[in-house]
Structure 1
Amino acid sequence: MKGLLFCVGLIMNCLFSTVSFAQTQNVSQQDALANTQKQLQINRYKYSTKAPKAIDGNSDFNSMDITSHGGDLAKLLGDNIYKVDSLVVRGTVDDVDFHTLWDASFNGKLSVINMENAEVKNGIIPEDAFWHSEQLNIEDGYITLIHLRRIILPNGIKRIEDAAFSYVVNLEDVNIPSELQYIGPSAFEQCENLKTDPLVFPEGFEKLDEAVFANCTNLTGKVVLPSTIKEIGEAAFWRAKISSINFPEGLEKIGDGAFYGCRLEEVHIPNSCKDLGIFAFKLNKELKEMHLPDGIERIPNNFADCCINLSHVNIPSSVKSIGKEAFQSCWCLNDVELPLGLESIDKDAFQSCYAFGQLVFPATLNFLGEECCTYLTGVKRIYSMASEPPACEVSTLNIGDTPFGGYDSPSTPNDIPVYVPVGAAEKYRKAWGWDYFTNFIETDDFPTAIHNININKPNAQNKVYDLNGSKVANPQKGQIYIINGKKRIFIN
C-alpha cells in the first residue's frame, strides 16, 4: 500500500486519475487543477474521533514508561493498552510495536508518545504506521481519527515511509530527527493541526517527496532546508500555510503544486534549479517578491497565478516562453522586463495585472496567446520592437476577442500609444489583434532593460522621473526611475 491516497482510492473502488502533473500540461489548465485537487484532497470526508475505551469502568488517564525488546510492546502494555494516555517507550521498537501504538491511539486513549530514548529497528518508521484502512468509513462518509497529539522521535530515525502519519489530524507537534534522510509521499498529509515551527531539516537530507505536508493548514511558520536538498516533490506543501522557506543553491527541482496556496512572502529560486513545476506558487496571496533562476527557458503554466500582492518578478534572459496563466491576477505586479529572446506569451499569462504601467515587447516576440494581456487597466503605453507584428491568438472563451480585449468591449485601454519600429505602423494597423489599438507611433528609441545599478543623487543636471515620465522630487531608495534617459535603481 503506497501512501494514503492510493489506499483511499483502492478502497473506494474509484481510482483517482493516474495522470501525472507533468502530463496535465496536455489538457486545459482547469482540468489540470481539477486532477490535482482530486488526487490531493479527500476533505469531503468528515472526521470522527472514537471515544476512548474504559477498562473495568475506570476512565482515568494513565502514563506509563516501558522498555520494549522489539515486538513485545502489546504484551508489556497488557490490559492498559486502551487506558494509557501518555507513553514513554525505551528499548527496541519494530513494525509490530508501531501497530500496537496505532491500536492504543485508535481504540484507546494514547495521545502522547515519547520515543526519544528508543531505538527503531533499521531506523525506519514503517509505511502507514499511524494510518490504517479501517479508519475509513465510506458508507457514512467519515474518517475516524486516532488520538495522537504529540510524538517525540529518536534521532536515529533515517526514514519516515509513505503515509506514516497521514490523517493524524490531532497531531500538533513532531520533531525532525537529526539523522533523517528521507520522508515518503503523503507522510504527514492532512495533519491539519501540525504547528511545528521552525520545521528544520538536517544536513544530508536530499528530497521532500510528493504531498509530504499537503493540507497541513496550521503549519504557518518557517521551513529551513539544508544545503543538501535536491528536490521538492509535487504538492509537498500543498495548502500548508508556511510563511518562509529557503531554497539553497544546489536545489534542482520544485515539483508541480509544491507550494500551492501557501503564505510565502518572498521566493528566491537559485540558479541550480532549472526544473520548475506548474501551479508551483499559485495562490500565495502574501507573496511580494519572486526571483527566478537564470537558465530556464519557460515559465510554467499557472506558476504564480493569483499571487495578488506580488509586485516584483524578474524574467531571466534565457526565457523563451511564458506559460498559460503564469502571472494571471497578479494585481500588484509592476512593469516586467521582458527579455530579448522571448518568443511567446501564452493564454491569460498577464491577465488582470492591473498595476502594469507599460509593456515592452522584445523584437524576438512572435506570438501572443488568447487574452494574455486583457484587463491591464493601468497600462499607459505599449512598445513592440518587432518589425513584423507578433501573431495574435483569438479567444475561444470570448469568441473574437484579441489578446488585449474585445473590439466592442475593451478591457485594456485601446487608445493608448503603441510604439512600433519605423516603417512598421501600417503593418500593425492591418494585423488582426493589433488593430484593436487606434494610436500607433513609429520610433527608433525603445526602452531598454536595466544593465547597471548606479548610485544617483538628483540635481539640476541629473533629473529623476518615474516610469510614467513624471518628475520625482524625492526619489526613494531601491525604486526604479528614469535618470538621464535610462532606467536606474536609485540608491541615496
Structure 2
Amino acid sequence: MNYRIALTALLAILSLLSCSQEDPAIETLTIASLGSDTLYTGREYHLSVTSTPRVESPRLSWSVSDASIASIQYGGVLKPLRKGELTVLVTSLQSGGKRVRASRHFTLISSGVYLRDRSITINPLETYTLPYRFLPEDYRPTEALSWSVADPSIASVDSEGRVRGLTDGETTVYVRLGNPLSGFFSEDSVAVTVRHHAAPTYTYTDGVLELTQKVPGLLPMVAKEMPYFSKIIVHGPINGSDLLFFSEQNARIDALDLSDTRIVSGGRTVLPKKRFFSDPEPTPVAVEDDILPSAFASGLTIKALTLPRGLKGLISFGLSFIYTSLTFPEGYEKIELGEFATEQLHLPKSLKHLYCNQPKLFVELTGGEDDLKISSVKDELVLPEGLEELRALLELSSPLTLPRSLKAVTLTGRFDDITFAGPSAITTLSSTFFIQHPNQDKGPLSTIQAQTLRLPEGLETLGARALAAGAYGYFISNQQIDLRTALNIKQLLLPSTLRSIGEAAFFSAQIQEPVTLPQRLRTIGPLAFYASSLPEITLPESLQRIDDQAFALCGSLETVRALGKTPPILGSMAFFRTTKQGRIERLIVPQGCKSAYVQAGYAPFFFDIVEAAH
C-alpha cells in the first residue's frame, strides 16, 4: 500500500517537472539554406529550421507542394524523385493554436548525363564528338554511357559519342545512363542535321590562313590539323563552332581578322562556369545573329583581334587578358563595349555613338580590388571626327582629344589629359553633358580623374553642376561631401570665351594647381567652387559678381588674385571658412584698390589684403 502511494507521488512530481520545462510557443519559423536551392534526384537532403524563440527540437509537420516529384519524411528528410519546381512547407505544432509555417522553393534536377549541344549540323563523312557532363558535378557513374541514333542511315555514333554524318537528312542521337527498369535512369538527346555543304576555299602560307566559307562552322575542319597561325583571315559567315575553335586554339593564333564576317546563329554552345556553389546550374549559351555573348568573347584571348561586322548589344571581353589591339571595321555607327583591356583601340570613321563599360556604373561596389578595375586603353585613343556621343568609364594612359562633332559626353574614370578640339560649336555645358546619371553615386568610378582638363574654345557658359553632378547629387541626398564623387584633376584650363560659371559647377572639385579664370568671365554662381581644393585662383578684371558661398569652405585656398580695380559684388559668405580652417592667407589687389575691396566686404575673409607691386 505504501509502495503505491509513493509511486503515485513520484508520478505527480514528474508531471509537474514536465509542465514546468515545456518548450515555449513558436512565433516564427525559417527553413535553413542548404547552400543551393538546386537539388538532384537520387539523393537525400536533411532540412532544418530555425525558430523564434529558439527551440532545440520543435514539433513540426512537413509537406511538399507536389508529392509526385518529391517526398518528405518525418524530421525533414527530402527525397527528389523527378525534375521540376517544388515548394517545401513546414508547420509548427507548438504555437499555442496559432498557424505558424514557413516555406522554401527548390529546383529539382535529374542526376545523370547532359549533352552540351541541343542541335548540330555536319557534312556527310564529317565527324563531331558530342561534349557532355554529369550533374551534380561530383556524380561519378559506375556504368558506361550508352549511345544510339534514331536513324542509322543518316548518321552513326560510337561508344565515345563521336557522330559521323552519312547522308543528307535529320535524326536524333541519344545518350543514356542506367536502365529504365532499374532504380536509376538518365537520358539526353541532340538533334543532328546532315547536309552537304560546299567546301571552303583557303590558302595557308607561312602561318597565315585565309579562308572563305559560304556556310558557317566549317573552318574547324580545315584548320584543326594546322600547327600554328600567325594570322587567320576569314571571309563569310561564322557561328558558335568557329568562335569556339578560335577560343580553344587561342594559344596557336597570334592575330585574327574577322572584318569580312558576320556572326549567325547556330553551331556549338558555351557552358558558363558557376561563380559560387549556391548559384543555379548554368545553361548553355548560344550565339545569335550579330550577337557576341560574353561567354564567347571572353575566350577570344588573341593578341590582335579585328571584330566581325554589324555586332549589336554589349560586347564584353573581361579584364583578365590585355589585347595588343582591338579593331572595329568600318560600317559601325554604334558600339557598346563592356569590360576590356587593350594597348590599342581602333575605331571606325563611321562611328557616331560610343559606350564603354557603362553597366559597371550600376554595379554596387563591395570594396574589393576587382570593383576598382575598369576598362583601359594604354596608347592614345583616337576618336573619329564624326563622333556625336561618348559615354565612357575608362582608364586612359595617354591624352584624349574630344572631337568638335561631340554633342554629349559622359567621362568617368582615370585619364591623362582631356582636351576639346577647338573651336567648338558647344556654347553651354550642362550637368548632363559630362555626367549622364547625375545621382548615380558609385564611389571612385563615378567621377573624372585626370592630369589636365582643357575645356573648348567657343564655350560661353558652364551650367549648374556642369562638372559636379555626381558630387552635388550625393551631397543633396546624404548631406555630406564624398570626395570619391568629385572631379579630381591636376590642372584646369578654361577657354577665353567663357562668360559665366553656374551654380555648383565645380562643387568639391579637387584641383592641384592654381586656376586662372578667363578675362571675359562676368559671373560666378552660388556654390560654384564650394569645398573645392585649389591653392590659388586669379579673378579677371571683367568679373562683376561672386554669388553666395561661391568659394566657401575651400580649405586649401591660400591666395586670391583680383585683377579688377572695381571689386566684384560679393554674395553672402562668398569666401566663408570654418574657425578650424581659418581665414584665407591673402588677397592681392591692384595698386591703390585696397580700400575699395575692404569697403566691398572682402576683409573678413582674409588675413591680409595687399596691393600688387608695379
The TM-score with structure 1 as length reference comes to 0.55
User: What corresponds to 1:324 in structure 2?
Assistant: 507
- The code of the aligned residue for 2:534 comes to Q
1:74 partnered with 2:234: no
| Residues 453 and 492 in structure 2, CA contact (< 8 A), matched pair in contact too | yes
- The answer on 1:400 being equivalent to 2:550 is no
Question: Which secondary structure state, in structure 1, belongs to the residue aligned with residue 516 of structure 2?
Answer: coil
2:232 matched residue in structure 1: 87
2:410 corresponds to which residue? 255
Match of 1:390 among 573, 584, 609: 573
Q: 1:293 to 1:438 in 2, by over 3 A?
A: closer
Q: Contact conserved, 2:380 with 2:397, CA < 8 A, in 1? A: yes
Instruction: Report the counterpart of residue 366 of structure 1 in structure 2.
Output: 548
1:246-303 per-residue CA deviation (whole Å, 9 max, x = no partner) reads 0416x1x322416x41334445562476323367654233848666464722332388
Tell me the CA shift for residue 317 of structure 1: 3.3
- Please report how far the alpha carbon of residue 309 of structure 1 lies from its aligned counterpart in structure 2 after TM superposition: 6.9
1:310 CA displacement? 2.9
Q: Which residue of 2 aligns with 1:232?
A: 390
Once residues 454 and 571 of structure 2 are traced to their aligned partners in structure 1, the CA distance between those partners, rounded to angstroms, is 37
1:183 to 335, 344, 347: 335
Separation of aligned partners in 1, 2:377 and 2:539: 36
What amino acid is aligned across from residue 402 of structure 2 in structure 1? I
Give the aligned partner of residue 210 of structure 1.
Answer: 357
Distance 1:388 1:369, change over 3 A: closer
Structure 1 residues 245 and 291, CA gap change in structure 2 (3 angstroms): same
Cα distance, 1:365 vs structure 2 = 0.6
Deviations 1:323-361 (A, max 9, x none): 23447224363556543372223334361246x365876
For residues 417 and 344 of structure 1, the distance between their equivalents in structure 2, rounded to whole angstroms, comes to 29
1:96-150 CA-to-partner distances (Å, cap 9, x unmatched) read 4223212221xx3112112243333276250326644xx8xxxxxxxxxx65122
Amino acid at match of 1:238: E
CA distance in 1, matches of 2:463, 2:238: 47
Change (3 A) 1:220 1:391: closer
Q: Determine the structure 2 residue equivalent to 1:159.
A: 312
Q: 1:88 to 1:370 in 2, by over 3 A?
A: same
What is the DSSP-based 3-state SS (H/G/I as helix, E as strand, rest coil) of the residue aligned with 2:383? strand
What CA distance in whole angstroms lies between the structure 2 residues aligned with 1:423 and 1:117?
70
Instruction: Select which of 455, 465, 468 maps to 1:298.
Output: 465
Query: Kindly tell me: are residues 344 and 438 of structure 1, through their superposed partners in 2, closer, same or farther at Cα, counting changes over 3 Å?
Result: same
Percent identity of paired positions between Structure 1 and Structure 2: 7
Q: What is the one-letter code of the residue matched to 1:363?
A: R
Question: Is the CA contact (8 Å cut-off) linking 1:298 and 1:323 kept in structure 2?
Answer: yes
Q: TM-score, normalised to structure 2's length? A: 0.46
Which one-letter code corresponds to 2:464 in the other structure?
E
- How many residue pairs get aligned? The number is 343
8 Å contact from structure 1 (residues 128, 164) kept in 2: yes
Which structure's CA Rg is the greater one?
2
The answer to whether the 8 Å contact 1:385/1:421 transfers is no
User: Structure 2: where are the runs of 5+ without partners?
Assistant: 1-204, 265-287, 360-372, 436-445, 469-484
Aligned residue number for residue 436 of structure 1? 606
CA distance in 1, matches of 2:497, 2:240: 49
> Looking at both structures, which has the greater relative contact order when contacts are Cα pairs under 8 Å and sequence separation is at least 6?
1
Match of 1:109 among 252, 259, 277: 252
The alignment's C-alpha RMSD in Å is 4.5
Whichever residue aligns with residue 344 of structure 2, its letter is L
C-alpha distance in 1, partners of 2:565/2:555?
Answer: 14
1:220 aligned onto 2:380: yes
Give deviations 1:370-392, integer Å, cap 9, x for gaps: 11671337667796533665354
Structure 2 residue 337 is matched with structure 1 residue 194: no
1:311–1:321 CA distance, 2 compared to 1 (3 A): closer
Work out whether residues 178 and 202 of structure 1, in 8 Å CA contact, stay in contact via their aligned partners in 2. yes
Distance 1:335 1:344 in 2: 19
Change (3 A) 1:79 1:344: same
Normalized per residue, which structure has more strand?
2
Identify the residue that residue 3 of structure 1 maps to in structure 2: none
Structure 1 unaligned blocks of 5 or more: 1-59, 136-145, 442-467, 471-492
Contact 2:392/2:410 (8 A) holds in 1:
yes
Q: State the AA in 2 paired with 1:220.
A: E
The aligned residue for residue 262 of structure 2 is: 119
Question: Which secondary structure does the structure 2 equivalent of 1:276 belong to?
Answer: helix
Residue identity in the other structure for 2:233: V
Offset at 1:163? 0.8
**3-state SS, counterpart of residue 100 of structure 1:** helix
**Per the alignment, do residues 220 and 130 of structure 1 end up closer, same or farther by CA in structure 2, a change over 3 Å counting?**
farther
